[in-house]
Amino acid sequence: MTASKKITLTRPDDWHLHVRDGEILSSVLEDTAKRFSRAIIMPNLADPVTNTEKAEQYRERIINALPNDYKLTFEPLMTLYLTNRTSTAEIRKAWDSGFIHAVKWYPAGATTNSDKGVSDIVACYDVLEVMAEIGMPLLVHGEVTDPTVDVFDREKTFIDQFLSGIIKNFPTLKVVFEHITTEHAVQFVKDAPAYVGATITAHHMLLNRNALFTGGIRPHHYCLPVLKRENHRKALIEAATSGNKKFFLGTDSAPHSQKAKENACGCAGIYSSHGGIEFYAEIFDKAGALDKLEAFASFHGPDFYGLPRNRDKITLSRKQSPIPETVPFGNESCVPLRAGGTLEWVID
Ligand code: NCD
Ligand code: ZN
C-alpha cells in the first residue's frame, strides 16, 4: 500500500477547451466547472465563432447551460476564430468587449471544423499587427496541412515553415503554441522570447503513439495533433514539471459522440474533462514533481494572459475512483479518456 497523499492548490484554469454547442453543453460543462474556475473556449463550432456577436451569443448559451451551482463561479473565456477575412476593426471590437481573450489560428483543414480557417496567414498580417499592439494573444494550432508532410512531422514542419517567421515578424505578439506534442516544440518555446507560451494536454503526457494500435485500432486515442513517440512524451513531462512559466495547463478536452469516433472515418478528439486536473496530478506525482503542479495548473496561465490568479483552493487526494465506460453526450454517449479504468487522484 502506498501512503495516502493530499495536495491543496489554488483552483486551476483550463487554457484550451472544447465544449461544443446545443444540448451537448449541459452534458460536458459540469466536469469542467467542478474543477476549474475559468476555461479558454475554443471557437471551432460547425458555424465558427468569427465575430464578437457570435462570441457573445455563444458565451450566453454556455452560461445558460451551466448547472446553477456554477453559474457564478465559472467563467468562460471566449476566443475568436481567425479567417483570411477577419478585419482589424473586428479584432479591436472583440478586445474591447472584455470577454474575448484571444484569437485562434487554425490552418485551414488542420483539424475538426477548421475548413473556414486560415489558408494564407500573410493575409492576416494586419490583424496580427493590431493584436501585438493591443496585447491580444494568438492561439496557434501548430500543424501544417500539406498532404506530402508525414502526419507525425506536421508540428515540427509548422515551426520551421510558419511559427519561427511569425515570431520574427511580430516580436511583441503574445503567442500560445497550443497542445504541443514534440521535443522540437518544447525546445522552440524554451528558446523563444517571453511572449511565447504553450499549453500541454494530459493525454499527450500519458500516452505515446502505441496507444493508437494496442491490440487493434483505438479510435478513442485519436486526436490532433496525433500522439507521438515516447521520447516526445517524456520531453513534454519534463517541460510541464520544470517550473518554466511558459508552459501551462490546457486539456484540449474535445468530446465527440461514440458513434462519430467508432467510425470508418473517426473524428479527432479525446474527452478528458472528467479527470481535468486529476490526470495532471497523476503525471506530476509519478514524475516526483507534485510541488510544481500548482504553478503549471494555476499560475502560469493567468500570468501569461494578464488575468488575476484564482483565490480559492481545491484539494486532491491520491485515491482510486472508477471511470465510467461512457458519459452522457446530449442524447448520445461519449467514451471518456481511460474509460472503464480508474482515476488515481480525486478531488475532495
Ligand atoms: C479538436 C476538436 O475536436 O475540436 N480535436 C482534437 O483532436 N484535439 C480540435 C483541435 O484542437 O485540434
Ligand atoms: Zn483543441
Q: What is the dihedral of CA 283, 288, 290, 293, to 10 degrees?
A: -60
Is 114 a pocket residue for ligand 1 (Cβ < 6 Å)?
no
Residue 125 confidence (pLDDT): 97
Grid cell listed for 303: 500570468
Strand, helix or coil for residue 227: coil
310 CA from centroid of ligand 1 (Å): 27
The rounded mean pLDDT for the chain is 97
Place of cell 500522439: 227
**pLDDT exceeds 70 at position 184:** yes
Count other C-beta atoms under 10 Å from residue 330's C-beta: 15
CA distance 73 to 9: 17
Q: Is 252 a catalytic residue?
A: yes
Query: 210 CA to middle of ligand 1, Å?
Result: 20
**Would you say the C-alpha torsion 337, 79, 154, 235 has a positive or negative sign?**
negative
User: What is the per-residue burial (b if ≥16 Cβ within 10 Å, else e) of 251-281?
Assistant: bbbbbbbbebbeeeebbbbbbbbbbbbbbbb
Average pLDDT for 299-303:
98
Question: Which of 20, 21, 44 to mutate for ligand 1's pocket (most ligand atoms within 8 Å of CB)?
Answer: 44
Cell matching residue 139: 492561439
In the numeric block, which cell numbers belong to residue 291? 510541488
User: pLDDT-based confidence at 2, cuts 50/70/90?
Assistant: low
Judge contact between 43 and 103, C-beta under 8 A.
Answer: no
What pLDDT is stored for residue 74 in this prediction? 98
Residue of 114, 161, 116 whose CA lies nearest to 141: 114
pLDDT above 60: residue 1:
no
Strands 6-10 and 14-17: unpaired
Confidence at residue 192, expressed as pLDDT on a 0 to 100 scale: 97
**Strand intervals (E) in the chain:** 6-10, 14-17, 38-41, 75-81, 100-105, 138-140, 175-177, 196-200, 247-249, 313-322, 327-329, 332-334, 342-347
The tens digit of pLDDT for each residue in 260-281 reads 999 999 999 999 999 999 999 9
Compute the C-alpha angle 26/67/322, nearest 5°.
70
Q: Which domains does the chain possess? A: 6-347 (3.20.20.140)
Neighbours of 307 (CB within 10 A): 14
Q: Which residue among the candidates 252, 291, 303, 348 is catalytic per the annotation?
A: 252
Grid coordinates 460536458 are at which residue? 28
Helices (H), the chain: 24-35, 52-65, 88-97, 125-134, 154-158, 164-169, 183-191, 203-206, 230-240, 258-261, 278-286, 293-294, 300-305
Asked whether 199 lines ligand 1 (CB < 6 A), one says: no
Q: Is 318 in the pocket of ligand 1 (CB under 6 A)?
A: no
> What is the model's pLDDT at position 325?
98
Residue 3 has pLDDT above 80, yes or no: no
For residue range 85-115, what is the model confidence (pLDDT) as tens digits? 999 999 999 999 999 999 999 999 999 999 9
Q: pLDDT (tens digit, 9 = 90+) per residue, 142-172?
A: 999 999 999 999 999 999 999 999 999 999 9
Ligand 1 in reach of 111 Cβ (< 6 A): yes
Q: How close is the Cα of 179 to the center of ligand 2, in Å?
A: 7
Closest CA to ligand 1's atom 6: 269
What is the predicted pLDDT for the residue at 25? Answer: 98
Dump pLDDT digits (tens) for 185-208: 999 999 999 999 999 999 999 999
